[in-house]
Amino acid sequence: MKLKCTRLFHRLLLCAYLTGGPLAAAYSQDAAKPQQARAGITLNNTMTIKAALAAVVKQAALGIAYNADLLPDRNISLNLNNVPVETALDRILAGTGLSASISKDRILTVKRPPAEGVLAGTVYDASRKEALPGAVILLNGKPFTTDGNGHFNASVPAGEYEMEVRYVGFVSKKQHVAIREHATQTLNVYLQSSSTALQEVRVDARKRVGNEVSLLNERRNAAVVSDGISAQNMEKTASLNTTQALQRVTGVTITDDKYVAIRGLGDRSVIAELNGARLSSSNPDRSAVPLDLVPAALLDNITVYKTLSPDRPADASAGIIELKTKSIPESMIVEFTAQVGYNSNIGLGG
């Protein structure tokens, strides 16, 4: 029994050695590749570009696949201490117009970037023979658009490209384009209209009512005699509250710095509304509303209606003050307000 266990143990050790040896060797080879890829390059000398590349190839254990005639015959001074291979190559080839790359097989390639060529033309509607402004053109996925006359003109490196032209309401068109160095490739593209019906297009925008143009249009379209002042004009006149702003409106008189009279009639016949809702007075003995409590900075505009209409309250015989507040701003707004006053009755001697 003891002999059988010993033989079994020896067999297990032999299997582990036979299977583990190649695996360990493969692991060591794979682990060595990242170390070679991360190999640091050290060059501290003045040498030719060709010699510098040869030193990089030797230190990084790279293969060579480039034409040495491309390399300029000049000396460069290098001071590189344990830098990555890519950094060393960029420093060596700086100012030469050459680019270097390392393949997956660790082969170093040095080449000159291709010269540029020009792709030009016009995009047309195939049925109407009209130019299409704003058409989108994709060259290997990189977009550019046509101008207002449907023309396009782009300078790109010479080579072969997959070109796609798109326009709303038309069928996209793809084709292969070859661009040569220092040459202009002229290409006119004709797009066929798409038979697919477009869905509903809706554009939402907020009407601006805080400027003079909007207020004048409202007065022009009103069925009653009205006047007013916009937020833009209130900012120009530095009005702090509603009563100060109403002092600039024709036919409006301010009493006690807070009550409003229209066309010479008393403030009892004037009512105030905030966004269409009637305001009530906190004074039980007076129906007039003190408007000095409303800051002018909160208002888009103030409209003063001087004549009655069937849709207005009957007790507003003198007029109606309509206050319209600002909407929620689309962006952050910072405002600063400063006020300066003086008393002419007090001199230097008191």
Positive or negative, the Cα torsion across 133, 134, 135, 137?
A: positive
pLDDT of residue 4: 47
CA distance 340 to 40: 70
Answer yes or no: are the C-beta atoms of 127 and 168 closer than 8 Å. no
* pLDDT over threshold 90, residue 103: no
Tokens of 108: 């170093």
Answer yes or no: are the C-beta atoms of 96 and 107 closer than 8 Å. no
Look up the CATH architecture of domain 212-325.
Beta Complex (2.170)
Of 3.50.50.60, 1.10.599.10, 3.20.20.220, 2.60.40.1120, which CATH number belongs to 116-191?
2.60.40.1120
**Ranges of each domain in the chain:** 41-111, 116-191, 212-325
* pLDDT over threshold 90, residue 191: yes
Tokens of 36: 């070679």
| Domains 116-191 and 212-325 in one fold | no
Note the pLDDT tens digit of each residue in 153-163.
Answer: 988 888 899 99
Least confident of 55-64, 115-124, 241-250: 55-64
Nearest CA to 170 out of 120, 203, 143, 133 is that of: 133
Q: Nearest 5°: CA angle at 223, between 221 and 228?
A: 70
CA distance 296 to 243: 9
269 vs 97, which has greater pLDDT? 269
Residues in contact with 89: Cβ distance below 8 Å, sequence separation at least 6, in sequence order: 53, 56, 100, 108
pLDDT of residue 7: 59
pLDDT of residue 6: 52
- Alpha-helical segments (H) within 159-257: 212-221, 231-236, 242-246
In percent, the amount of the chain with pLDDT more than 70 equals 86
Q: Does the model's pTM come out above 0.85?
A: no
Alpha carbon distances (Å) from 324 to 13, 242, 304: 93, 11, 11
User: Which CATH class for the 41-111 domain?
Assistant: alpha beta
Note the pLDDT tens digit of each residue in 127-141.
Answer: 989 999 999 999 988
Residues in a beta bridge with 143: 138
Average pLDDT score over residue span 319-338: 80
CA distance 147 to 132: 9
pLDDT of residue 71: 79
* pLDDT over threshold 90, residue 101: no
